[in-house]
Amino acid sequence: MFLLEDYIKAFRANSIKITPQRLAIFNLLVGNTSHPSADDLYKEVLKIQPSISFATVYNTLDKLVELGLLQKLDIDDEKKHYDPDLSIHHHFLCKACKQIIDIFENFNVNIQPASLNISSLESYQVNFYGKCENCSA
């Protein structure tokens, strides 16, 4: 998990400006295990930066993903979710409450690009679907 200073260093190293809006977003991401959507983050950051616009949230998230500091999850077809934890782990989506639960297991899912039409393998995601305990009670 990254610390605030990791985000700042990375932005500086890439000559991307550090603004109060971005610092507020960085702070929301540090240690965040809730897999927030852009809208979730927007609502939270409004409390610290009441005049922030939605576009700024998207812009900052895009930059973070480009810099490899944030993972975009393709697990929920309704919206994108973001995960600042880049350690190898995967996710479970409860189809009822849409909660995303971390699965801290390192599955052996290597593929041999050479054997397929694939030239570079950059990442992978393992997504599980079902119902969480709350929702099946």
What residues make contact with its own copies under the rule CB under 8 A? 72, 74-77, 80, 92, 94-95, 101, 103, 105, 107-109, 111, 113, 116-137
Cα dist from 48 to 22, 28, 44, whole Å = 11, 10, 8
In the list 1, 3, 9, 12, the residue contacting DNA (rule: CB under 7 A) is 12
Strand 90-94 to strand 100-103: parallel, antiparallel, or no bridges (unpaired)?
antiparallel
Angstrom distance (rounded) from CA 6 to CA 93:
29
- Does 105 sit near DNA (CB under 7 A)? no
Strand 81-83 to strand 71-73: parallel, antiparallel, or no bridges (unpaired)?
antiparallel
Backbone angles phi, psi at 85, to 5 degrees: -85, 110
Q: Which of residues 18-47 bind DNA (CB under 7 A)?
A: 18-22, 37-39
128 binds, among its own copies, DNA, none (CB under 5 to 8 A by kind): its own copies
Q: How far is the CB of 81 from DNA (least distance, A)?
A: 8
In the list 16, 103, 126, 132, the residue contacting DNA (rule: CB under 7 A) is 16
DSSP 3-state of 76: coil
Q: How far is the CB of 75 from DNA (least distance, A)?
A: 11
Q: How far is the CB of 1 from DNA (least distance, A)?
A: 23
Which residues does 31 contact at the CB level (< 8 Å), separation at least 6? 1, 84
